[in-house]
Amino acid sequence: MVCQYMGTDMLERELKRGSAELLILALLDERARHGYDLARLIDGRSGGTISFHVTSLYPTLYRMERQDLIEGRWVEKAGQRRRRYYRITTAGRKALARHRSVWENFVDALNRVARIKTA
């Protein structure tokens, strides 16, 4: 995942990682979704500003699953192929709350220093 407006490597890596998690958790907080759905929504909702390369979506999902932030499960629906749906866990909800407050603080700080107004 690449956030195109970020600067230094390290900050970029951390932000990438953090923002990817935040986005996934936020989307799964709404309801359980499968991988393709997640990729499509991240792309669509950011209006293309955040170009989300789905390449690393799955490694991210699997890592988050290992950390018990989300839980994947194969679901079979009538007349469809089975799909792996992910849903947020309790630990995931806590992580989401933490991420949100970190981001709010960060954006707030940016705003105060650089007077960038976020939407």
Partner 1 sequence: MDWKTRILTALETAAHAPQPEVIEELAQHAQSLYEAARAEGCPTREAERRVVAQIERWRLEAAMLRHASRRPAAVEPPPASVSGLGDVTLDVRYAARLLRRQPRHAVLTIVTMALGIAATATLFSVTYGVLLKPLPWPHADKLVQLGETRGGAPPRFGSFTNAVYLAWKDQATTIDGIAGWSARAVTLTGSGDPERVRIVSCSASLFPILGARPLVGSLFDEADETLRDPSVIVLSERLWRRRFGADPGVVGRRLELDGRPHAVVGVLPDALAFPDRFVLAWVPYRIQPATGNFLSMFNAIARLRPGVTPDQAAAEGSARGQNAPDTSLTTTAIFGNNGPVQVSATGFLDAATADVRRPLIVLFIGVGLLLVTATANVASLHLARLTTRRREVAIRAALGAGSSRVIRQLVVESLLLGLLGGAAGLGLATALLRGLPAILPAGFPRLDDIGLDLTVIAFVTVLSIGVGVAFGAVPALTVRRLNLAETLADRGAVAQSHGPRLRTAHLRLAIMAGQVAIACVLLIGASLLGRSFVKLLNVDRGYDPAGVVISMIPMQAPGYPPERRFELLNRILSATRRAPGVTAVAFTSELPLTAGGSTMAFTLPPRGPSRQVTSVQASPRIVSPEYFSMLRMRILEGRGFTESDTDTSPTVVVVNRSFARTYLGDAALGSRLPVTGYAPEEGEARESTVVGVVEDVRYGMAGDATQPEVFYTHRQMRGRLSVPVIAVMARTTGDGSSVVPALRTVVRDADAGLVPDRIMLLEDGVLTSLARPRFYAFLLGGFAVLAVIVAGVGLFGVLSYSVAQRSRELALRVALGASRMDVVRIVLRQGAVVTALGILAGVCASFILMRSIAALLFGVTSHDGLTYMAVPLALAAIAAAACFGPARRAARLDPLTGIRDP
Helices (H), 1-119: 9-30, 35-45, 57-66, 90-114
Question: What is the rounded distance in angstroms from the CA atom of residue 113 to the CA atom of residue 93?
Answer: 30
Q: Assess 75 for contact with partner 1 (CB under 8 A).
A: no
Q: Assess 2 for contact with partner 1 (CB under 8 A).
A: no
Q: Assess 34 for contact with partner 1 (CB under 8 A).
A: yes
Q: Assess 56 for contact with partner 1 (CB under 8 A).
A: yes
Continuous segment of H or E residues that includes residue 88: strand 83-88
Q: Which residues contact partner 1 by CB under 8 A?
A: 34-36, 39-40, 53-56, 58-59, 62, 65-66, 72, 74, 81-84
